[in-house]
Structure 1
């Protein structure tokens, strides 16, 4: 009897648990009860994140582009068990995933969706059980269908009022690969870095809107027009409307900055200045930009942001970007791809980033070779294995 059946009060003989129950998670049914087989919708507005972040914020746009394009350009190596394969059908599929785009374009879309939404989906189109095409699907159109065991039993992709459901097979290649970033409070969906930086993103966008408003209003703080004429110190409705229209047409906007203001009829102009403390929004905007870069794992010097002296120079920042952001993302994605494609290409399939072909790590590789070459206590085969090559005596 499964835990799900026990939770629903369905009795069974003691000791009657089968092999499936012994292999299953003991808490999976608790997760399943939250959904009951109903679709679990994405709990955030992907369109808002994409619009306010990637489309309207230069820092977010550059961070996503840097990480996605750099990660998509990392070459992958295929292994069959412990033996590296010079040619492999999995690499051929990733290099030419479909007739409309190359491998770098597909992976860039996958990494971009992962960074913006925290989720990425890849569809495998199979012919006679073998994957022939791969397509990246938009996360905002996909929803997970939880099964009775707490794991997804399928996915539903909807667009234009129509939906396509992908069922997860009991064995063999799944039609959908769902990649997620860690989310501590969600069982099915990942957490976007943009959500963690949402407050900094709002501050940065608001500061940009403030600067734009200053330019639209003669690039300086506004003032007050004081009327000291008759009628109790008040302008008539017609006078007020005419004065407002003249000010907006002739004195507002960057094109009219510095234009002299001619006053008549008892009007006096009193400019309203701002204190240095009120002008501190400039520093707040720079701090928000650094916080956004931190959420995406991009060192601020690589974005040209001032005020961050954590890295000694640009080269150190670039090396940290590769080691702490790009390579971990590529490694976990390659591992997920290999696990997903293993039923079609063999259970021994392993995909790893080929660090020897990464130009940005050439300095580290050269230093490693120097240290290994100077190690007289190592044999030639041990030196080859230390730098990632097979022993020469085995012909590898």
Structure 2
């Protein structure tokens, strides 16, 4: 217990600092050598096609979604806050050097490779956000001062935007937009690449084996033997590799001299299940990033009946957690305490959730007939020009009578009035029949007409 108590006491010290994913190389899940012997870093991992595809799919998806700043209205609804100075930074251009798409794509790439995304917040004299510049995650350190307060240390480089002085710069939390990934302390995220370095290292090893296999003429390695003593084995080896090595020499016929024999000693790629191993690693990497395999080129299990459902699940279970991380981090860092009461930041995922044309039209038809959508609501979703009020573009109707939502009960009232009128008419008719019957009876009985009371 003394060991653990000492550990807990050391963590409670004010100088204790949260560890980034590149620190603590003694732990197996950090960057470095994998079990396959391959060194896995964020840059070497991107040379694996499956990793590159997963990072690209997620980064481009986050970057391409419309990003808006909204304000709450008095009618329990929302509207785009286009007049707020933060709106054009998020939607169009966060700084003079890049678009919103490039900015978000860059930060999402950092988030997937290093587990953290950082951006410097430039404020004007009123404290409003004036610009956002991405910062390299591998040159950022998150520390605590002697009072236990967080601060950021960033190592400047000549390639950075000239927003800070050269050397190591200390930034306060108010000056940094930090989007952390999955982590152990809630402050700094751990890299998915580092956590899965053994799987990625195995993919590297199998890919290198395949490249070497074709480099050797698609033939397994073996032994060249000849009777007697070989005087210059290095010369014979170089001569053999020059004549029969490489994929361009794979169809050449080897000529052996002076009793020389060739004996292969390696197992074939089929026996080593090379192709199956490579395919499994593709699925393994897709599993790390929670990407449907068909989105990175593996269509083996994709069909016409399930591929659309997989795409919808990608939005719900893969993109949604990342979007929430982005939205909450931006609201926490970019909005003041007073602004948080009236403003919020949201991605629009409606475009990704749309089905095929026929499904959309059926859904729109149901929505219009039940008063959910107006014609202009549907036209806006389809990026079409809106209709004027005279053309009925903003009218909500109900199925059946197809009238305005406000007039939906008028038909019932009219029918009720008609029923009441018909009821009174029936009473008058019945009274007339009774009077006629009495009159006829009176004339038949005494030959004279008596007054009917």
The interval holding the TM-score normalised by the smaller chain is 0.7 to 0.9
Answer yes or no: is 1:36 the counterpart of 2:19: no
Counterparts of 2:373 and 2:108, CA distance in 1: 40
Residue of structure 2 in register with 1:351 after alignment? 345
- Give the deviation of 1:351 after TM superposition: 0.9
Counterparts of 2:293 and 2:55, CA distance in 1: 14
Residue of structure 2 in register with 1:124 after alignment? 121
- Identify the structure with bigger relative contact order (alpha carbons < 8 Å, sequence gap 6+): 1
Residue of structure 2 in register with 1:191 after alignment? 190
Q: What is the DSSP-based 3-state SS (H/G/I as helix, E as strand, rest coil) of the residue aligned with 1:99? A: coil
- Give the deviation of 1:258 after TM superposition: 2.4
Residue of structure 1 in register with 2:282 after alignment? 289
Residue of structure 1 in register with 2:264 after alignment? 271
Q: What is the 5 A alignment of 1:64-143?
A: 64-81=55-72, 82-87=77-82, 88-94=84-90, 95-128=92-125, 129-143=127-141
| Matched residues, number | 345
Check 1:79–1:59 CA distance in 2 against 1; reply closer, same or farther (3 A cut): same
Residue of structure 2 in register with 1:11 after alignment? none
- Give the deviation of 1:137 after TM superposition: 0.5
> Are the equivalent residues in 1 in contact too, given 2:180–2:189 (CA < 8 A)?
yes
Gaps of 5+ in 1: 1-6, 8-28, 169-173
Q: TM-score, normalised to structure 2's length?
A: 0.67
Higher mean alpha-carbon deviation, 263-272 vs 296-305, is at 263-272
Q: Deviations over 1:233-264 (max 9, x none)?
A: x323x3x2221121122221112212222222
Residue of structure 1 in register with 2:425 after alignment? none
> Are the equivalent residues in 2 in contact too, given 1:71–1:327 (CA < 8 A)?
no
Q: What is the DSSP-based 3-state SS (H/G/I as helix, E as strand, rest coil) of the residue aligned with 1:264? A: coil
Larger Rg over CA atoms: 2
Answer yes or no: is 1:53 the counterpart of 2:45: yes
- Give the deviation of 1:96 after TM superposition: 1.4
Residue of structure 1 in register with 2:153 after alignment? 156
> Are the equivalent residues in 2 in contact too, given 1:32–1:147 (CA < 8 A)?
no
CA RMSD of aligned residues (A): 3.5
> Are the equivalent residues in 1 in contact too, given 2:152–2:170 (CA < 8 A)?
yes
- Give the deviation of 1:199 after TM superposition: 2.1
Q: What is the DSSP-based 3-state SS (H/G/I as helix, E as strand, rest coil) of the residue aligned with 1:79? A: strand
Gaps of 5+ in 2: 24-29, 33-38, 158-165, 382-394, 397-404, 406-453
Check 1:339–1:262 CA distance in 2 against 1; reply closer, same or farther (3 A cut): same
